Amino acid sequence: MPARRRRESSTKFYHVMVKGINKERIFDQQREKMYFRKIICKCLSKYEAEIYAYCIMSNHAHFIIRAEIQILSMFMALILAEYARYYNFKHNRNGHVFQNRFSSECIETEAYYWNCVRYIHMNPVKANMVNNPLKYKYGSMAEYMLEETRIIHSHALGKYREVFRDYEEFEIFHMKRHTQVFADLREEMEKQREEAAYVLAEEMFEHKQLKQILQVFEENQLREEYIDGLVSTLNISKHKATQLCMKTMNNVQNQ
């Protein structure tokens, strides 16, 4: 089956994700993460691609990249091919290292851009690897704090300075909750939906000035309004939203 044509962003910004085949921990060791980062630096000197955020986890990695769509494909192909050669030789194995090629989401708005930056930086926190994204050595949070451009482009710092007064404000922004769902591993996307569903329930509880958050689920009219909100916010079916509603109610009851 031919590969599906990649959607082109009007802003040239993309959320890019790569993942290990069969969930393999292809960046499990520190030196593997370091070598992957080294390859990225080398390839940045060969292509007109700009990185605005990144995070290298154990079995996948996230980036925000600004590039022409054709350049993006060549840039990522070179990175993945070189790392695959390194990884296969190192582990005395053959075959694919990455699941498919890479996934890309178009980033079309400023709000989506910053929420995506936050999501990428918070990956190791969500995975309970660190309690603060700044402590994770294989992400771009420290580059923003130090205002240095080891991997991220100088334009990334320019955007950051236009929006945030200082790093403290940037860090506070990362602690805020949101209801957007970003491309990730399947189980991680399901967690994102569950977290968003809980945030939406709390927002309805506060907006309606209810006495208990369980009223959102127990009262018919409120429950239907909540389910409709899940459908529109998370872009899911009514059936999926109803299942998510019941799961959120159970989670609230068990707290």
Write the secondary structure of 188-222 as one string of H (helix), E (strand) and C (coil): HHHHHHHHHHHHHHHHHHHHCCCCCCCHHHHCHHH
Weakly modelled stretches of the chain, pLDDT under 70: 1-4
**pLDDT (0 to 100) of residue 4:** 65
- Tens of pLDDT, residue by residue over 190-200, are 888 998 898 89
Please give the distance of CA 163 from its chain centroid, rounded to a whole number: 20
**pLDDT (0 to 100) of residue 1:** 39
Please give the distance of CA 109 from its chain centroid, rounded to a whole number: 16
Instruction: Tell me 106's DSSP state.
Output: E
- Is 28 in contact with 8 (CB distance < 8 Å)? no
Instruction: Tell me 5's DSSP state.
Output: P
Instruction: Tell me 7's DSSP state.
Output: P
**pLDDT (0 to 100) of residue 2:** 46
Distance CA 122, CA 19 (A): 17
